[in-house]
Amino acid sequence: MFITQKSLPRRTVLRGMGATLALPLLDAMVPALSTAARAAVRPVRRAGFVYIPNGAVIDVAAHGLDAWSPIGEGRNFELSTILKPLENVRDRLVVLSGLDHPMARSMGDGAGDHARGTATWLTGVHPKKTEGIDVRAGTTVDQIIAADFGSETRLPSLEVSLESPERVGNCEVGYSCQYLYTISWRTPTTPLPMENNPRVVFERLFGEGGTAAERLAERQRDRSILDWVTGDIADLRRQLGASDQQRVAEYLDSVREVERRIQMSESQGDTLSLELPPQPMGIPDSFEDHIKLMYDLMTLAYQADITRVAAFQISYETSSRTYPQVGVANSHHSLSHHAQNEENIEKLVKINTYHVEMLAYFLEKLKTTPDGDGNLLDNSLLLYGGSMSDGNDHSHYPLPCLLAGGAAGRLEGGRHLRYEGGPAMTRALLNVLDLMDVQADGFSEATGVNDRLAGI
């Protein structure tokens, strides 16, 4: 990073005609040889949580397949078929094997492992069995981090999904649908909605229109948000050095590309609505386009420092989504009840691998996005996995779980850590809080220094 004599405020935004656009960290925001300069250069940490439904094919020995679990431990390990798409970011991975989520078990409440698993993943709390409005779980780790970081960003956190809630009331044998349709809880009684419309997410990040009417009026304008701030951009560029000008240009190009793709998806939806069932405006028809667009929006939110915390629920448990793009026409949830059928298990491996391919897209994007003296992947900590192990028997041990990113120098990657005895997932969440420099004496049943997982 080139340190200049002049500086711009870190919160510099471009404004015009109903739009605001935050900027990424620039050299011009770092004044020369000052205490503020040293603080500005110090990396900012981001946290992300990506949830996969219906478990994963984990146990290689049980199925005779090279599934989720890497071969070997420590630094001497080989990525499995499912994790192989992450080979290019292997040095930024820590795969955690052998974790358990005991609070997701029945504990006398009977069936309902999908709802309990989702509610437990980031809370570590056994949820109250109710189909009414009196839901209760726990504050999720993403919201604990957001409470600590939120005052420094425009949005404390971002919660996104690829599916919208289909039902209300009872979704699984006496458990409220609210347990299934979110992975983020602000308080033990406040589940946060997950937004699946990229257009709404984009406008939340970059537009000032908050109501449906305001968003509709904004969509009807012909010009890009960026066109509305042309004057500010021209004035800003005159104050910047060559490297900053290039960085701003690349950033604005990426914003424009996301906006173009959203507009295209809306146009396709309008065109197809005469022949197909109506779709929510702004949601691409293709799963791959949709998930990549959401990952792009998360990247932009991190890059512009609009938020430092994001939670992404790829799909909810019991979803009937199919994956014909990888040759799987069966419902994901139905396949998870594989009954030890090898053909079903192989199809599950395809789905698991495809989800990881999309994760690889996200991690590569973070890796190629400059941030301070490094990149966004260096300065982020991402937790990827789920709260179900084998969907066939609704077990919660051993869980699919990995950490990605450098946590601004705190996480050493390129390792596979295997734990014996089934330590609780909450112990890993306590490590996550430590890596994000958020003070916590304990988390759920994990308390004290000795409850942190060793090696992370």
What are the 10-residue block averages of pLDDT along the chain, 456 residues in total? Answer: 54 60 69 50 89 87 69 94 96 97 94 95 96 93 93 89 78 90 94 92 71 54 57 74 74 68 55 33 86 93 91 93 96 93 93 97 96 94 96 93 97 97 94 93 69 91
Cα gap 314→372, rounded to integer Å: 29
For residue 454, with 0-12 CB atoms within 10 Å meaning exposed, 13-18 middle and 19 or more buried, which class applies? exposed
Give Cα 102 to chain centroid, integer Å: 24
Q: Kindly report the backbone phi and psi dihedral angles of residue 425, in degrees, each rounded to the nearest multiple of 5, phi listed first.
A: -55, -30
- Print the domain residue range for 292: 43-196+283-451
Assess if residue 211 is contained within a domain: no
Predicted local distance difference test score (pLDDT) of residue 182: 97
Asked if residues 29 and 12 have their Cβ atoms less than 8 Å apart, the reply is yes
Assess if residue 207 is contained within a domain: no
For residue 293, with 0-12 CB atoms within 10 Å meaning exposed, 13-18 middle and 19 or more buried, which class applies? buried
Assess if residue 418 is contained within a domain: yes
Residues 6+ apart with CB under 8 A from 105: 113, 116, 396
Query: Scanning the structure block, which residue is given the tokens 């656009």?
Result: 21
Cis? peptide before 398, omega within 30° of 0: yes
Q: Kindly report the backbone phi and psi dihedral angles of residue 391, in degrees, each rounded to the nearest multiple of 5, phi listed first.
A: -65, -20
Predicted local distance difference test score (pLDDT) of residue 199: 85
Assess if residue 192 is contained within a domain: yes
Assess if residue 119 is contained within a domain: yes
Assess if residue 66 is contained within a domain: yes
Around Cβ 349, how many Cβ atoms within 10 Å?
Answer: 21
Assess if residue 409 is contained within a domain: yes
Cα–Cα distances in Å, from 297 out to 184, 269, 292, 354, 412?
A: 18, 20, 9, 20, 26
Q: Report long-range pairs for 424-427 (Cβ below 8 Å, ≥24 apart).
A: 424/99, 424/100, 424/101, 424/102, 424/103, 424/124, 425/99, 425/100, 425/101, 425/121, 425/124, 425/387, 425/399, 425/401, 426/103, 426/124, 427/99, 427/451, 427/452, 427/453
Predicted local distance difference test score (pLDDT) of residue 3: 44
Q: Within 13 Å of residue 304, how many CA atoms lie on the same side as its CB?
A: 24
Cα gap 413→160, rounded to integer Å: 27
Predicted local distance difference test score (pLDDT) of residue 272: 35
Compute the chain's Rg from CA coordinates.
Answer: 22
Give Cα 177 to chain centroid, integer Å: 21
Predicted local distance difference test score (pLDDT) of residue 313: 98
Predicted local distance difference test score (pLDDT) of residue 347: 95
Assess if residue 288 is contained within a domain: yes
Helix intervals (H) in 187-241: 198-206, 212-219, 225-228, 230-237
DSSP state of 110: -
pTM: predicted TM-score of the whole model, two decimal places: 0.83
282: left (phi over 0), alpha (psi -120 to 50) or beta: left
Count how many domains the chain has. 1
- CATH number, position 315: 3.40.720.10
Predicted local distance difference test score (pLDDT) of residue 330: 95
Beta strands per DSSP E along 345-434: 370-371, 374-375, 380-385, 401-404, 415-418
